[in-house]
Structure 1
Amino acid sequence: MLAKTHSSDETTKLASNFTELSFADCQTSAENGNSYGIFMLGYCYEHGIDVEKDENKAFSYYLKSAKMNNPRGTFQVGFCFYHGIGTKMDKRKAFKYYQKSAELNNSNGIFKTAVCYYYGIGVEKNVKKFWEWISKSPSHGKCAHCNKNNTSKAWCLICDPDITVRGWSSRNEKIDDCIKEFQFRTFEYVNVIEWIPFNRLSNIETIGKGGFATVYSATWLDGIRKIDEIEIDNHYSYKKSRESNSIVALKTLASSEENNFDFLKEFKSFMECKLNCSKLAIYGITQNTETNEYLMVYQYANNGNLYKYLRDNFNKLTWMTKLQILKDISEELFYIHNRAGYTHADFHSGNILQDQRNNENMRSYIADLGLSRKNDAYVPEGYIYGVMPYVAPEVLSGNVKFTQAADIYGFGVIMTEVSTGQRPFDGYKFDINLAVMICNGLRPGFASGTPDCYIEFANQCMDSDPQKRPNISKINNVICEWLRNLASDNETEIKKQFLNADKAIKTLQIIPQHHPDHMYTSKIISTQRISNAVKEETYATSKSIKFIEIPSGKCMLK
């Protein structure tokens, strides 16, 4: 059956007045059968424009417009399948709709289709197909050097990487080669990394210290790269530009002052994850001219780490916000595990950053990949580095090295922290006794009123058997399902549990932390000593799980 057609004047008027549209305007247009109006109605529901936000309804309207061959609606269906917005995450279906929107000449669809072919997302990897699609996008202007279509805004993948690697040097061949390796692999101007002279950084202040590194804030005088959009006769052209100056974060790269260049492993870990869709922006490398230490320059998170954010805002946070935080974290960990093929190996709330820009929603980012490694990388015998309360029992006991399942255990511990607002095992000595208790089933508890479904799933993530823990895709799907229930008009049992938990949060008594922050930084842990102690315990074979009971009306463990 053919979709109902409408005059191009009506669609043009609707699109040109986008910023002035109300929900009622979109609804009227949708009722008239205009595919763009139906798409815009979905947009209103997704972003809560003049109507209560509802991702399920948003997806249904996007899908309806896609069935009418609306290019933007079709692209948005792919986007929803990719991120699990209003529907379950499905990369194959995401690619299907990205490609369909590309065939309808949607520029975002063309680019996403190319990227999917390049990385093998939802389709078999095919570099030839990548080049076929990436060359089809006409919306980004012509390259000034080769006169071919730019592959993204103000960026030509054929010419610009070659230009970027020239005209600069850190005065060290290994550093230059590392930076250039990733400059050659850059798809967009705003993602270019660079060598940043230390004298172009000012107002440097210490903002945090971890087990292996110090973090600073600084003003980058050259500013973050950005794209200026110039509108001429309803058409846009794009120009490379920079902010006048920018607040950035600096992180010392371990052992960089020793000139053995092992520190480049951490930087490369960050970059591999960044190339595979991690959202944390990385700007480049610099060197402190006084200490000779190398530092990574990256996105400054203006709300600190997750623990600090929970501590400062706990009684004000709804479960909708908490679940959105966990959704962001699970998506980041998905990219680390499934796209970059890494295990984080130091996964705790101090390594999760919270950032909010202008009127945008809070966003969570996974940071500090200094201990991360490829799945087949060698790890020395007899010891590990980590924060004991977040380390999986099989790792503490020396039975298994850090694996992706161990990261999932850490995610479960973070779920308890989101529930209580308190770090795990605060007040306990981080010694062999605690390690043995963890190996024998001790787990952090939950705040009074925490939904049963949440507790059950967090405990599954912290299961003593790594094989029984869900993978990160399952975690993301479950959290997205909870969010859909909360946003739904239907009164489900899950929605009821989370709404009741919101009421309980306001009555919880926050007790100050016992341990100083430095207790929750990564330290060396002897797995050999823990293993020996576990074997000596008379209850070592006990399978029982001991959970910490939290007194009613309080949100920390005793």
Structure 2
Amino acid sequence: MELKKQNKFTKQEHNTYLPLRAIHFIRINLVGGKCAHCDEDNTQLGWSLSCDLDIETRWTSGHKNIDDCMKTFQLRTWRYQDMIEWIPFDRLSEVKKIGEGGFGSVYSATWLDVRETSSIIALKTLASSKENNNDFLKEFKSHMICNINYSKLAIYGITQNIETKEYLMVFQYANHGSLHKYLRNYFCTLIWKAKLEILKNISEELEHIHSYAGYIHADFHSGNILQDQQDEIALYVADLGLSRKTNEKVLEGEIYGVMPYVAPEVLLDEQQFIQAADIYGLEVIMTEITTGQRPFDGRKFDAKLGADICGKGLRPEFAPRTPICYIELAKKCLDSNPKERPDAFDVLNTITNWLNKISGSDDNEIKKQFLEADKVIKTLPISKHPNEMYTSKIISTKLISKTIKGIYLL
């Protein structure tokens, strides 16, 4: 379609769905100024917030709650690239299952109406959507709030599988998969500077979730951190199915998660998930980055393990000759007392400082520790647990407490 220089398009073009938002972006707004449809000033280059094309095109998902939810976030969108839309399932091809989580399946697909440089996207089922349970939109809302507040993982909208009737979120596709998968593939060649860059990006994403969105992730482990490479490696924190606002309460007695990454105060049900619990999970990931192995690989994730974590202070081990400064930071974040743990901003600042020292021209103690650690020959241990062990499951906090008290002999 040839671009027109004038700031208008025909009524026929306006009512053509494919690709409606791309037409709006390219034909109307590249020239800047006012939007031809609503005659209001563009809020940013290529986007007019007040121009609501969906009223004219009369789209609907067929589900009022979805329509209302999406419309609410559409009206809060300031940039074209953040726009969400209802995506008809017949506009997706080559749908393939690529993963199974604790709360839904993940697929890759080709989007025929691509708006980015790649047509490959990811789909994740929204739990309970087949049962018409209105709570299934909770995860989508959490992702949208975090996305609006500077989360980097792009969300394109919602679709519905026409055969299963399940609703799915449509995401940016991360071609390196989870952080755990990335470590398994590249662990033996990663130098410490690259590892610290990974941790810097993780802590920055977590800081945005905590400070800007006001959320707790509540399921923070290496399977929920995605790696993507186009021109350079990018990292995204994903899977907000268990996330909640900082003041949101949940039922007591049972929690969901991957036990080795769950903070001891949560396992004991002494305290609800708070942001400090995410920090505990972050530092379990720090140990994983040193070894290339997920925590407590080979042990049963049962009440006995929970009792050892909470009662005996059991923690994942570090690889030999891990820099002392790194271990000291991780141990602070693994403290049994959540008040003694640093926040995500402090962790980000510390890691950024290390990277600056490593890149500096002077010989300093921090730089020396990490360069010496790079001389260690890295070997990747064989995984004893299948991947399914590290998906979120129900955890009985009452059973862990009883085990610690010796009521059950395991």
Name whichever structure is richer in helix by fraction. 1
Determine which of 149, 162, 165 is the counterpart of 1:276.
149
Residue 316 (structure 1) shift: 0.8
> Partners in 1 of 2:195 and 2:161 — Cα distance?
38
1:309-331 deviations in Å (ceiling 9; x for gaps): 00110011111111111111111
- The match for 1:380 is 251
Aligned-pair identity (%):
60
1:294 matches 2:163: no
2:100 aligned residue (204, 209, 217): 209
Aligned AA for 1:152? Q
1:403 equivalent to 2:294? Answer: no
**Structure whose CA Rg is larger:** 1
- The equivalent residue for 2:13 is none
Instruction: Check if 1:442 corresponds to 2:314.
Output: yes
Name which of 340, 346, 357 aligns with 1:485. Answer: 357
Q: Deviations over 1:92-141 (max 9, x none)?
A: xxxxxxxxxxxxxxxxxxxxxxxxxxxxxxxxxxxxxxxxxxxxxx9944
Q: Partner residue of 1:325?
A: 198
Equivalences for residues 231-242 of structure 1 within 5 A: none
TM-fit CA distance, 1:146: 5.2
Amino acid at match of 2:53: I
Rate the CA distance shift 1:537–1:315 in 2: closer, same or farther, 3 A. Answer: farther
Is this contact kept in 1: 2:249–2:272, CA < 8 A? no
Aligned to 2:347: 475
Q: Is the 8 A contact 1:346 1:522 kept in 2?
A: yes
Give 1:533's match in structure 2, choosing from 381, 391, 403. 403
The correspondence for 1:151, drawn from 30, 43, 48, is 43
1:132-531 aligned within 5 A: 140-145=32-37, 147=39, 149-157=41-49, 159-160=50-51, 162-164=52-54, 166-167=56-57, 168-224=59-115, 246-357=119-230, 359=231, 361-439=232-310, 440-504=312-376, 507-531=377-401
2-side partners of 1:315 and 1:532: how far apart?
Answer: 42
| AA at the equivalent of 2:361 | D
Secondary structure at 2:226's aligned position in 1?
A: strand
Give the deviation of 1:154 after TM superposition: 1.5
RMSD: 1.7
Q: What is the TM-score normalised by the length of structure 1?
A: 0.66
Q: Distance in 1 between matches of 2:55 and 2:296?
A: 49
Query: Is contact 2:156–2:171 with CA below 8 Å preserved after alignment?
Result: yes
Write the distance in 1 (CA, Å) between the matches of 2:44 and 2:274: 37
Assess if the C-alpha contact under 8 Å between 1:397 and 1:534 holds in 2: no
Q: Which amino acid aligns with 1:396?
A: L
Whether the aligned pair in 1 keeps the contact of 2:35 and 2:41 (CA below 8 Å) is yes
CA distance in 2, matches of 1:522, 1:376: 22
Is the contact made by 1:405 and 1:469 (CA closer than 8 Å) also made in structure 2? yes
CA distance in 1, matches of 2:406, 2:96: 48
* Corresponding letter in the other structure for 1:324: E
Alpha-carbon distance in 1 for matches of 2:89, 2:38? 34
AA at the equivalent of 2:163: E
- Tell me, yes or no, if the aligned pair for 1:355 and 1:364 is still in contact at 8 Å: yes
Aligned AA (1:438): I
* 1:509 Cα offset (Å): 2.4
Q: Which protein, 1 or 2, shows the higher relative CO under an 8 Å CA cutoff with sep ≥ 6?
A: 2
Paired residues of 2:188 and 2:379 also in contact (CA < 8 A): no
Distance 1:392 1:279 in 2: 26
Contact 1:165 1:180 survives alignment (8 Å): no
Cα 1:330–1:145 shift into 2, 3 Å: same
CA distance in 1, matches of 2:363, 2:54: 55
- Determine the C-alpha separation between the residues in 1 that align with 2:318 and 2:394: 28
Q: Deviations over 1:421-461 (max 9, x none)?
A: 11000011111111111002000011112100000100110
Q: How many residues align?
A: 377
Q: Note the alpha carbon deviations across 1:378-397, whole angstroms, 9 max, x for none.
A: 21111000000000011111
Question: Measured at CA, do residues 499 and 467 of structure 1 come closer, stay the same or move farther in structure 2, by a change above 3 Å?
Answer: same
Q: Deviations over 1:168-206 (max 9, x none)?
A: 111111110011111001101111000011111110001
**Partner SS for 1:207:** strand
CA change 1:494–1:380 in 2 (3 A) is: same
Q: What one-letter code is carried by the residue in structure 2 that aligns with 1:525?
A: I
What's the CA shift for 1:148?
5.2
Shift of 1:166: 4.3
Alpha carbons 2:192, 2:373 under 8 Å: kept: yes
In structure 2, relative to structure 1, the CA distance for the partners of 1:140 and 1:334 (3 Å cut) is farther
1:264 deviates by 0.3
Deviations 1:229-267 (A, max 9, x none): xxxxxxxxxxxxxx6x71000000111110012110000
CA distance in 2, matches of 1:462, 1:315: 26
User: 1:516 is aligned with what amino acid?
Assistant: P
Distance in 2 (CA, whole Å) between partners of 1:179 and 1:352 is 25
Relative to structure 1, the CA distance from residue 139 to residue 325 in structure 2 (aligned partners, 3 Å threshold; closer, same or farther) is farther
Gaps of 5+ in 2: 1-29
Q: What TM-score comes out, normalization by structure 2 length?
A: 0.89
Looking at structure 2, the residues matched to 145 and 260 of structure 1 have their Cα atoms a distance apart, in angstroms, of 37
Paired letter, 2:236: Y
Task: Report the alpha carbon displacement of residue 212 of structure 1 after superposing the two structures with TM.
Answer: 1.3
Is the partner of 1:536 in helix, strand or coil? coil
C-alpha contact 2:85 2:157 (8 A) present in aligned 1:
yes
Q: Secondary structure of the residue that 2:130 maps to in structure 1?
A: helix
Distance 1:181 1:405 in 2: 31
